[in-house]
Amino acid sequence: METIIGSQQLKCASAMDDSILVWAEAFLNDRKARGSAEGTLDFYREKLKLFFSYCDALVVERISQITPTLIRQYLLHLENTGHNPGGKHAAFRTLRAFLNWYEGETEPEAWSNPMRKVKAPKVPTEPLEPVSFENVFRMMKTCERGTFTGDRDEAILLCLLDTGARANEFLDIDLTDINQARGDILIRQGKGSKPRQVYLGRQSRRALRKYLKHRKDNNTALWVTHPRFDSERIKYDGLRSLLSRRANLAKVDKPTPHDFRRAFALSMLRNGTDLYTLAKLMGHEGITVLQRYLKQTYNDTEAAHRKAGPVDNSKFLGLN
């Protein structure tokens, strides 16, 4: 596993019993031993690096130097350097997980976990807008039919929307995970390392078959780069670049991979899927996150009634 710090730094830091760097490495090793997905480990690494950089500037090297005040100042620093509420909350959750694990692992005497005195940052309860179907259609129109890149990108746009999968789950799909006839896809490493099934509709399966006809390589990955780039598995940055390029060509707002997941959730709700079924499809343990989308569907029904309510639109009641 890639380490957060270099071997020389680790050697120097190990001289301190409560070195932040040493215990952070141990924390990641513990999470890996528990079976955390690589995407989860990358998430922890990224957020811990942010905290290490902040501590380094303040010459804070030991866990015993971390105070509630320092953590609050760190969260303010994130806000002042352009991190949105969701990013701040993610950084808070990671730091909380790390320090709670350290407390349970070492049971240190005369040390009080500073996270107990720091409240989690507030995050907006309103769901962000998903990518619009119109924009997806316009992005698809920029895909050059009959070419590897064009057919692949069109398939990615449709399959990303049709599965509602997280970006890393989507990119980790192998060819052997797909039943092309039925459109079933096995997500082997969902959040919490829990597998689940997602599905493709008829049009998405057709687009996928067109793309796979171009494949002549031996890579097990479903989504790969052009053969001139050695047909390597597409990574997250590559997916974002692909979406950005298609959006630029279509002259629409650039969507993120997660915007497609939001569009999937909202569309399924609008088309009558119940929250519990949708939670299973999206890999959520509960329905709390999905309930935020209900307000948008309520707005849909209100608008529909205002437009077509029977009394206001009747020609015979004589009330207009």
Q: Report the CATH number at residue 41.
A: 1.10.150.130
Q: In Å, how far are 14, 54, 84 from 57, measured between CA atoms?
A: 20, 5, 22
Q: Identify the CATH number of the domain in which residue 153 sits.
A: 1.10.443.10
Are 88 and 78 spatial neighbours (Cβ–Cβ below 8 Å)?
Answer: yes
- Whole-prediction pTM: 0.71
- The reply to whether 215 and 138 lie within a common domain is yes
- The reply to whether 64 and 107 lie within a common domain is yes
- The reply to whether 79 and 164 lie within a common domain is no
In a domain, 316, yes or no: no
In a domain, 228, yes or no: yes
Give the pLDDT score at 129: 84
Give the pLDDT score at 124: 73
Give the pLDDT score at 15: 39
- The reply to whether 188 and 80 lie within a common domain is no
Could you read off the pLDDT tens digit of each residue along the chain, which spans 320 residues?
A: 345 544 444 444 443 489 999 999 999 999 999 888 777 888 899 999 999 999 999 999 999 999 999 999 999 999 999 998 889 999 999 999 999 999 999 998 889 999 999 999 988 777 778 999 999 999 999 999 999 999 999 999 999 999 999 999 999 999 999 998 899 999 987 776 689 999 999 999 999 999 999 999 999 999 999 999 999 999 999 999 999 999 999 999 999 999 999 999 999 998 989 989 999 999 988 887 787 777 778 777 777 777 777 777 766 665 55
Give the pLDDT score at 74: 97
Give the pLDDT score at 22: 94
* H helices present in 81-220, as ranges: 85-106, 133-140, 148-163, 167-171, 202-212
In a domain, 190, yes or no: yes
Give residue 87's domain range: 7-117
Give the pLDDT score at 14: 40
- The reply to whether 87 and 165 lie within a common domain is no
In a domain, 102, yes or no: yes
Q: Residue 62: what are its φ and ψ, rounded to 5°?
A: -120, 150
How many angstroms separate the CA atoms of 184 and 206, rounded? 14
Give the pLDDT score at 67: 97
Sign of CA dihedral 262, 265, 270, 271: positive
In a domain, 253, yes or no: yes
Q: Residue 66: what are its φ and ψ, rounded to 5°?
A: -80, 120
In a domain, 142, yes or no: yes
Total structural domains within the chain: 2
Give the pLDDT score at 138: 97
In a domain, 263, yes or no: no
- The reply to whether 86 and 31 lie within a common domain is yes
Residue 71 CA to chain centroid, in angstroms?
25
Are 131 and 263 spatial neighbours (Cβ–Cβ below 8 Å)?
Answer: yes
Give the pLDDT score at 317: 60
Residue 177 CA to chain centroid, in angstroms?
20
Which domain-ending residue is among 229, 257, 285?
257
Give the pLDDT score at 1: 38
Question: Is residue 62 exposed (0-12), middle (13-18) or buried (19+ Cβ within 10 Å)?
Answer: middle
Give the pLDDT score at 307: 77
Give the pLDDT score at 53: 95
- The reply to whether 165 and 234 lie within a common domain is yes
- The reply to whether 15 and 107 lie within a common domain is yes
- The reply to whether 165 and 113 lie within a common domain is no
- The reply to whether 107 and 186 lie within a common domain is no
Give the pLDDT score at 3: 52
Which domain-ending residue is among 257, 292, 310?
257
How many angstroms separate the CA atoms of 105 and 73, rounded? 26
Are 285 and 192 spatial neighbours (Cβ–Cβ below 8 Å)?
Answer: yes
- The reply to whether 161 and 253 lie within a common domain is yes
In a domain, 283, yes or no: no
- The reply to whether 107 and 141 lie within a common domain is no
Are 138 and 246 spatial neighbours (Cβ–Cβ below 8 Å)?
Answer: no
Of the candidates 220, 239, 134, which has an alpha carbon nearest to the alpha carbon of residue 173?
A: 220
The tokens for 54 are 């902040």
Give the pLDDT score at 73: 97
Which domain-ending residue is among 257, 287, 313?
257
